[in-house]
Amino acid sequence: MSTIWLKNSVFYEIYPQSFYDSNSDGIGDLRGIAIKLDYIKNLGCNAIWINPIYDSPFMDAGYDVRDYKKIAPRYGTMDDFEHLLEQAHKRDMKILLDLVPGHTSDTHEWFQSAKSPFPGEFDNRYIFTKSVWDAPEQYRMMCGICDRDGNYLVNFFSSQPALNYGFYEITHPEWQFSSDSPEAWATVDALKDIMRFWLDKGIDGFRVDMADSLVKNDDDKVATAKIWRNIREMMDSDYPDAVLVSEWSNPLRSIVNAGFHADFYLDHPGNGFNELFRKKTDNDNLSFFADQAHGDITAFLADYTPAYLCSKDHGYISFITNNHDMPRAPFYMSEWMIQLSHAFIMTMPGVPFVYYGDEIGMRYRTDLISKEGGFSRTGSRTPMQWNHDKNLGFSDADEDMLYLPLDYSEGYPTVADQEGVGGSIYENMKSLIALRKANPELSNDSEFEIVYAKEKEYPFVYKRGSFTAFINPSDEDKTIEFDTEGTKEYFFLGGYEIGEDHVVIRSRSFLLLRHE
Ligand code: GLC
Ligand code: CA
């Protein structure tokens, strides 16, 4: 198999609405992404994940798909997409599209047909009860809003009816299909047909939205995993170079059981991601990279290490700088802590993902009205800030036509202000990515070993082959016993001192040493 490219890839996530507007209508588009490929490549990213670009009424920013095989006109045409793909491949860059398998928009033609009172081809594509008087409380249903005599299950927002992959535990046999039924597998076939459509165009795989949501009442996700295994077999035999990355955040289930090539490490409750980056309210219980530095690296490791160990021979856990669903990092930590967190992300195993704008420290806006079902997520979806031209270089449209307003708060970041400026978030990230790509021992699948990690203590020290990383976000210098003979400093942020048998890692610093 040749998904080997994942081993050396660093991804860039693009929210297409907000990246670059090539035709001055105020919204980002595919031609715009193509124009900026060299920028992404220059940062060091060699793969891209684009949020949904399919035809949609945009009740959930495109995660409500109306037609899986059509490009949303506001992003361009199929020709524009093929142009983008060709331009990316020419630069040796990969492109993942966002696959939304769990639900469609309620405007999708399958649903339009299913909700009609007349029998039709797609009656079992969704999950309808037999009568509108049947609405068991444990299910999230839309009731009495179409002429078909039945209520239907929704997967996320009300405009996103759940596709029918059946039930694992059946509670209501009158209307629930088994996950082994032909009706459930007909949905799998329809999904595979969509996947083939794009894979045949040459895309390099999919990021899979809510990948764990397919089969209902499937608590251990065995039936959902069975579907993905079946899809993985199709990929291995017909598209061996393409990959599947799951939004799941459970590597045992997603990578080991379901066969995903990689899984995101997300901000789900109880997850180590929050222990690292996203706790800020309780002063005694903060994240490891919080400015006040009262975090606990062992709380992260308790979650991460078992997940890493069980999945490392099968796939990758993906550390992300952020994504389109959560507040950007400046909401939680200072610029310097963000830089330290980038050093961590870019020296850990797994496939790293950079969310557009995080390379310059774009901010989270708390003052915006919801856009396209964004709600609290809207503030992380504002246009990319390129330079000091009109609309910060994002678009030539009139300001009031922009998809979302730009951030003009004091000291707002732009690419132009950081490119080529030593010490900037952008330049440090670029150096870290370059370092990772130049050294096989820092690549996505090389060995990772913990050297020093103590409850509620700093620093955290870990090895990647002959490299050792020391990371101390706390407000005190820390001294660590360490045989430094034959070591050479490779990269650092902040300060350090090297003795014969110890390393002093200064407050709020990162150091990467290498045994020669
Ligand atoms: C995923 C997406 C999110 C979307 C939801 C429903 O969590 O990342 O943006 O709203 O699924 O499709
Ligand atoms: Ca546009």
pLDDT at position 1 over 50: no
Does an H or E element contain 187, and which? helix 182-201
Q: What pLDDT does residue 285 have? A: 75
- Ligand 2 mean position, distance from CA 78 (Å): 15
Exposed / middle / buried, residue 410 (Cβ in 10 Å: 0-12, 13-18, 19+): exposed
What's the pLDDT band for 270 if we cut at 50, 70, 90? confident
| Residues 436-467 pLDDT 10s | 999 999 999 999 999 999 999 999 999 999 99
Percent of the chain beyond pLDDT 90? 97
Residue 457: phi, psi to the nearest 5?
A: -120, 155
> Which residue out of 49, 50, 60, 160 has the highest number of ligand 1 atoms within 8 Å of its CB and is therefore the one to mutate?
60
Give the type of residue at 254. Answer: S
- Ligand 1 mean position, distance from CA 34 (Å): 25
Domain 447-515 has CATH 2.60.40: yes
- Does ligand 1 come within 6 angstroms of the Cβ of 359? no
Mean pLDDT score, 476-490: 97
pLDDT at position 157 over 80: yes
Three-class secondary structure of residue 14 per DSSP: strand
Do 262 and 255 contact (CB within 8 A), yes or no?
Answer: yes
Q: What pLDDT does residue 280 have? A: 75
Ligand 1 atom, smallest distance to 373 CA: 10
Helices in 91-134 by DSSP H: which ranges?
Answer: 109-114
Q: What pLDDT does residue 197 have? A: 99
Do 358 and 328 contact (CB within 8 A), yes or no?
Answer: yes
Mean pLDDT score, 6-16: 98
Residue range 4-101+184-440, CATH number:
3.20.20.80
Q: What pLDDT does residue 282 have? A: 67
Percent of the chain beyond pLDDT 70? 99
| Residues 285-329 pLDDT 10s | 799 999 887 899 999 999 999 999 999 999 999 999 999 999 999
Tokens in use for 499? 């003795």
Which protein residue has the closest C-alpha to ligand 1 atom 3?
Answer: 325
Residue 271: phi, psi to the nearest 5?
A: -85, 145
Give this prediction's pTM.
0.98
- C-alpha 513, offset from chain centre: 30
Residue 51: phi, psi to the nearest 5?
A: -60, 165
| Residues 42-57 pLDDT 10s | 999 999 999 999 999 9
Q: What pLDDT does residue 292 have? A: 84
Boundaries of every domain in the chain: 4-101+184-440, 103-162, 447-515
pLDDT at position 38 over 70: yes
Tokens in use for 66? 């109306």
Q: What pLDDT does residue 284 have? A: 66
- Per the model's pLDDT, the better-predicted residue between 141 and 282 turns out to be 141
Beta pairing class for 205-208 and 243-246: parallel
| Residues 379-435 pLDDT 10s | 999 999 999 999 999 999 999 999 999 999 999 999 999 999 999 999 999 999 999
Do 506 and 495 contact (CB within 8 A), yes or no?
Answer: yes
Do 478 and 494 contact (CB within 8 A), yes or no?
Answer: no
- Does ligand 1 come within 6 angstroms of the Cβ of 266? no
Q: What pLDDT does residue 236 have? A: 97
Three-class secondary structure of residue 243 per DSSP: strand
| Residues 95-108 pLDDT 10s | 999 999 999 999 99
- Per the model's pLDDT, the better-predicted residue between 21 and 292 turns out to be 21
- Ligand 1 mean position, distance from CA 247 (Å): 9
Helices in 115-167 by DSSP H: which ranges?
Answer: none
Q: How far is CA 466 from CA 449, 481, 513, in A?
A: 11, 17, 8
Q: What pLDDT does residue 173 have? A: 98
CATH topology of domain 103-162: Oligo-1,6-glucosidase; domain 2 (3.90.400)
Indicate the length of the chain as a whole number: 516
Instruction: Determine the Cα–Cα distance for residues 275 and 278; give it in Å rounded to an integer.
Output: 7
- Ligand 2 mean position, distance from CA 369 (Å): 21
- Ligand 1 mean position, distance from CA 6 (Å): 24
Mean pLDDT score, 167-183: 98
Which protein residue has the closest C-alpha to ligand 1 atom 4?
Answer: 63
Mean pLDDT score, 2-12: 94
Do 98 and 49 contact (CB within 8 A), yes or no?
Answer: yes
Say if 4-101+184-440 and 103-162 have the same CATH topology.
no
Cis peptide before 269 (omega within 30 of 0): no
Quickly tell me which residue has 């060091």 as its tokens: 44
Beta pairing class for 141-142 and 54-55: unpaired
Average pLDDT of every residue of the chain: 97
